[in-house]
Structure 1
Amino acid sequence: MKPTDAARARQAEKPARRRAERARRNASAPFFFGKQAIAFAAVCVVLLVLDLFLYIGIAIYENTQAFGYGSPKSVTRAVGEALVQESDGAYALPADEADWMDYEQCWGMLLSEQGDVLWSRNAPDAVLHPYELSEVAVFSRSGYLNDFPCFVWKRDDGLLVTGFPKDSYAMSVVSYLPQESLGHMPLYALLIFVIDAAVLYLVYMVSKRRVAKSIAPMIEALDELARGKPVHVQLKGSLRDVGESINAASAVMRRKDEARRRWVSGVSHDVRTPLAISMGHAERIAADEAAGDEARESARIIERQNARIRDLVSDLNIASKLEYDMQPVEARPARIAPLLRSIAADYANTYPEGPFAIEADVGDEARDAEALIDERLMDRALRNLIDNAVRHNESGCTVRLFADAHDGQLALGVADDGKGLDEALIARLNHEAEAIASSAVEEDEPAQGPVPPPHYDEYRAAAAAGALRTGPAASPCGEEPTLAPKDLVGLNEHGLGLSLVARIAAAHGGRVGFSSGPEGGFVATIAIPLRPFDTQRPAVVA
């Protein structure tokens, strides 16, 4: 059993409600601030761990520089271990350690347990004197002897004291630090700050990149939806609900478009068969000389109306196919002049005795001009314009097909000297034609706001001067003429003919404009480029 429309609607509402609930939950203050606090805490933990590793690395490096080979303590230890007492009681230091002390600008002395100097090398005179135990304790703890940074090494026979040039080392809380290392501290602090800032910037850029990567397919999907194309996006994170909503909207549009296409196709198919039967019977009665004159005239009227219905069905099919990009524009280089003359000859033969006079006026520059057009569609557009002129001027008029080329544009169309339209209705027609043309244009140029249709300024000037007819007779809506969306019924008032003309012009990369003739009447002008255009892009998106 197939689900009803109401059941399908209820099923579709469930995921929509879930998405709305998730969106409200994600936007709530506790959830939002809690999520951001967790992310901030994670970043802080990463920075702390990184800073810890940087500190350990810097400490190891400085320790190696200060207390490794060549450091004060290593020199003191080496001298303390190498210094030996000879048989005669004198002390001797091997040449290698002596050279090392000279290289490091180090002096040394050996103090007995009573504080007397037993041995010295390079020691200044100011430090060569007996020491009390309290004095030994002071410089051993403070690390300075007469302002010389000093180091001690305990031996079995006494205490070895080594000293280095003044201002070469500084005593820290735990040990000595070279003055050079202390000078490096601001640089290390700056290094840690720069690395932390780089990590924060990296986190920021990754976050922005993720958002940008999520927004890009969303914008592309919305652009495709604006063109009437089905889309499907897969977004993650906080934009997942937005992606699901876009997919749901696309599915709804696709179902509606498919239903409308099936409806148009079904109606067209169902109308053709009875229409063909009706036209066959009308043609037979109109050609039967045995039938009365009144019956034959009625049959001819039925035949003409049936032909009009047939054309309307054909227009409906073409408009539907162009709207849904189901009919590709088979554009080929073609000369416009032969096409216009052929159409004019057909209609001249249709009305040999009036009341319509059909003319073809091709300008010098358009006589040999070629354009990329679908001749079948352009032929239909021009015939629809002629039919529109014939239908709205029953008493007869002169219908002129024209073509001219200038500035890389080909202008062709139909003009009549009939009763024409007032400026309000012409403004409506131009507004809707402009909307159809704009929907088919590639969106390479930034939007600059609504573009007024051709002759809009003339329409506003006439309205300001009170020259437009107002009241129910002037507007099919029974209101004063306006360009508000609720009153845009201009193309619809004229059936599918003018609407189809606008769609065909847009499918050729151009547009159609409507105006009054210099001596009255109605003029429809199709402007298309005299250059190649993209036949693969969507022809029209309504």
Structure 2
Amino acid sequence: MNVFQSSIRQFVIRTVVAIFLIACFNILLVGVYIYRFQQSVSGETAILPLIKQISGNIRMVDNRYEIPDSMTNELEKQNIWAMLIDDHSGKLLWIHKLPQDIPTHYTLSDIATFSRYYLKDYPVVAWKHPKGLIVLGYPKNSLSKLNYIFPYGELQAVPFRILFLIVCDLFILFLLYFYIGRKSIKSVHNILTGVKSLASGDQIHLKEYGDFSEVANQLNRTSDLLKRRQTAQENWIAGISHDIRTPLTVILGYAESIETNSSLPKEVQDKASLIKYQSTRLRDLVNDLNLITRMGDDSQVLRLEVFYPSVFCRALIASFLNSGVPDIFSVELNIDKNSEPVCLIGDRRLLQRAIYNLIHNCIKHNPAGCNIYVRVEARKQDMLFIVSDDGRGMTPEEIHLLKTRTQYLGSDNLFQFKQHGFGLYIVQQIVKMHSGSTGFQINTFGGLEVVISIPI
């Protein structure tokens, strides 16, 4: 809990610092913009002082009005045209670069209209003169006449400056995110990778750094503990298997000797046969246990070879029948003619074990007897091995459990596998090692049907 509290506290502090830095940047940027705007208004567009100077310095020289050269230069510099309108006649007494579309005669209503707004879309300002009215005209779209006079370019630039401010904020956020969050993200990614690997059964050793170094340390310790437990479990299974195999071999030898001794009573031979059968089951159980252990730690390696599934299944069924099957069971093999010429690449020993387990599963869970059907079919890209029976079958819940379970050893629901446990689980694992799939369903007889699909 302390790890997460510390991480949250650091995150809050970093967020507050980021907000403070962005606020300072925005204040600075707005301040610079206001300063530049004031400079623009007081410098380039200082309209009233200019028109006052012209009004005070315009003089009659040789029957024409003139202004000093410095003012003429200022008008030309700002691309301003000017005129002096006579109070009585409305005619122009003086002009400076007057545009062609500007009238040369005005009435009082004309003057009242343009003096506060525009004249032919030209922003204009007017100032009183003893002989009339001085008018200065600016280029179109250069000024916006509101309650105050602003440079038109500055008003046009406002949306772009706002957009620029937003872009700068996003850029700063990205930099802060990259600088502040990169370390935390790497730590979280490190933890998530370790959790996924640990869930897959792999041993991990995470680098212990960043905000979640303590979590990484706990995961490393958990991985080491699980590895030690797995090793202890494998060693225990290997030891038990070795200890059981020797006396089991002796029991099987004596049971077979008694079973084949014709001088003994039939009842004794039958009991010896039962001992042999149960001992064989125990031997197979030990072998299955060892096989599951090897599959669990990925030490089981496929011994790939090319073989004909049809020939393979005929030999398997013949061997199974010769091993002694009770009379209440029958095994029927059906091979599709299309599968006869097809070859398969796989581990014959493991696939034989899988099909044997399926047949043995039919016998084991149908003590009253049943008919067992083994079918081989060739598809375009897969070879199917189908084993079914007309026995008691399984409930839909049990079939769903078989389809969804991912492990056998160490399962909390081990009691749920007591009906169909080791055998079917081993079948699923062997098929998975061959990149195939296993399907479970109820057949038309009400029994269980298992479909093994192996890529050709």
**What TM-score do you get using the length of structure 1 for normalisation?**
0.55
How far off is 1:213 after superposition? 4.9
Distance 2:287 2:448 in 1: 24
Distance 1:58 1:529, change over 3 A: same
Question: Does structure 2 retain, via aligned residues, the 8 Å contact 1:147–1:166?
Answer: no
User: Which residue in the other structure is 1:190 paired with?
Assistant: 162
C-alpha distance in 1 between matches for 2:366 and 2:12:
75
Residue number in structure 2 paired with 1:322:
295
Q: CA deviation at 1:353?
A: 9.4
Q: Is the 8 A contact 1:54 1:192 kept in 2?
A: no
Say if 2:393 and 2:448, in contact at 8 Å, map to a contact too.
no
AA matched with 1:250: S
Among 425, 428, 439, the residue aligned to 1:499: 425
Paired residue type of 1:385: L
Q: Tell me if structure 1 keeps the 8 A contact 2:255–2:273.
A: yes
Partner amino acid, structure 1, of 2:22: L
Q: Which moved more, 1:487-496 or 1:378-387?
A: 487-496
Amino acid at match of 1:202: F
**Residue 403 of structure 2 corresponds to residue 434 of structure 1:** yes
Is 2:14 the partner of 1:39?
Answer: yes
- Alignment map for 1:171-320 (pairs within 5 Å): 179=151, 183=155, 186=158, 189-190=161-162, 193-199=165-171, 201-202=173-174, 206=178, 213-234=186-207, 237-283=210-256, 298-320=271-293
Please tell me the residue identity of whatever aligns with 1:510. Answer: S
**SS in structure 1 of the partner of residue 332 of structure 2:** strand
Query: Quick one: distance in 1 between partners of 2:425 and 2:26?
Result: 70
Structure 2 unaligned regions, length at least 5: 47-68, 81-94, 97-125, 129-135, 144-148
Match of 1:515 in 2: 442
In the alignment, which residue of structure 1 is the partner of 2:341? 368
Q: 1:487 to 1:188 in 2, by over 3 A?
A: closer
Aligned partners of 1:189, 1:342: CA distance in 2, in Å? Answer: 85
Query: Aligned pair in 2 of structure 1 residues 36, 386: CA closer, same or farther (>3 Å)?
Result: closer
- Give the secondary-structure state (helix, strand or coil) at the position aligned to 1:493: coil
Are 1:286 and 1:299, in contact at CA under 8 Å, matched by a contact in 2? yes
Q: Residues of 1 paired with 2:424 and 2:159: CA distance?
A: 77
Partner in structure 1 of residue 87 of structure 2: none
C-alpha change, 1:188 and 1:360, in structure 2 (3 Å) is: closer
Match of 1:126 in 2: none
The alpha-carbon deviation at position 38 of structure 1 amounts to 3.1
CA 421–218 in structure 1, closer or farther in 2 if over 3 Å, else same: farther
Q: 1:227 to 1:289 in 2, by over 3 A?
A: same
Higher RCO (C-alpha under 8 Å, 6+ residues apart): 1
Moved more, 376-385 or 304-313: 304-313
Answering whether residue 392 of structure 2 is matched by residue 421 of structure 1, we say yes
Deviation at 1:315, TM superposition (A): 0.9
Further displaced range: 240-249 or 315-324 = 240-249
Q: 1:45 to 1:514 in 2, by over 3 A?
A: closer
Cα drift, residue 495 of structure 1: 5.2
Residue 331 of structure 1, CA deviation? 5.0
Using the TM superposition, give the Cα deviation of residue 313 of structure 1 relative to its aligned residue in structure 2, in angstroms.
0.8
Shift of 1:276: 2.7
Among candidates 322, 335, 351, match of residue 308 of structure 2: 335
1:401 aligns to 2:374 (yes or no) = yes
- 8 Å CA contact 2:304, 2:346 repeated in 1: yes
| Residue-by-residue CA offset, 1:202-227 (whole Å, 9 max, x unaligned) | 25754676666555444443333332
Query: C-alpha offsets along residues 399-425 of structure 1, whole Å, 9 cap, x if unaligned?
Result: 3321224475543233344xx22553x
Q: Partner of 1:358: helix, strand, or coil? A: strand
C-alpha distance in 2 between matches for 1:351 and 1:296: 14
CA distance in 1, matches of 2:78, 2:360: 112
SS in 2 for 1:229: coil
In structure 2, what is the equivalent of residue 77 of structure 1?
A: none
Aligned partners of 1:56 and 1:21: how far apart in 2? 44
- Map Cα deviations across residues 64-113 of structure 1 (whole Å, 9 max, x no partner): 98999x999xxxxxxxxxxxxxxxxxxxxxx9x99966853799xxxxxx
The residue type equivalent to 2:392 in the other structure is L
Shift of 1:268: 1.3
Alpha carbons of 1:412 and 1:248: their partners in 2 closer, same or farther (altered >3 Å)? same
Cα deviation, residue 296, structure 1:
5.8
Deviation at 1:343, TM superposition (A): 1.0
Across the two proteins, how many residue pairs are aligned to each other?
384
The two structures, once aligned, show a CA RMSD in angstroms of 5.1
Residue 380 of structure 1, aligned match among 348, 353, 364: 353
Secondary structure of residue in 2 paired with 1:231: coil
**SS of aligned partner of 2:418:** helix
Question: In the alignment, does 2:450 pair up with 1:525?
Answer: yes
Map Cα deviations across residues 161-208 of structure 1 (whole Å, 9 max, x no partner): xxxx787999xxxxxx99467547736752552244323542575467
Q: Which amino acid aligns with 1:225?
A: L
> How much has 1:378 moved relative to structure 2?
1.3
User: TM-score scaled by structure 2?
Assistant: 0.63
Bigger CA drift: 317-326 or 240-249?
A: 240-249
Task: List per-residue Cα deviations over 1:204-252 (Å, max 9, x = no partner).
Answer: 7546766665554444433333322233444755544544444444334
In structure 2, how many angstroms separate the alpha carbons of the residues matched to 1:55 and 1:257? 66
Is the Cα contact below 8 Å between 2:399 and 2:440 reproduced in 1?
A: yes
Aligned match of 1:22: 3
Instruction: Tell me the distance in 1 between the aligned counterparts of 2:13 and 2:227.
Output: 41
Distance 1:488 1:319, change over 3 A: closer
Percent identity of paired positions between Structure 1 and Structure 2: 21
Higher alpha-carbon deviation: 299-308 or 211-220: 211-220
The gaps in structure 1 that reach 5 residues or longer are: 1-19, 73-94, 108-121, 124-145, 149-164, 171-176, 441-484, 532-542
| Distance across 1 between alignment mates of 2:346 and 2:37 | 80
- Cα separation, 2, equivalents of 1:352 and 1:422: 20
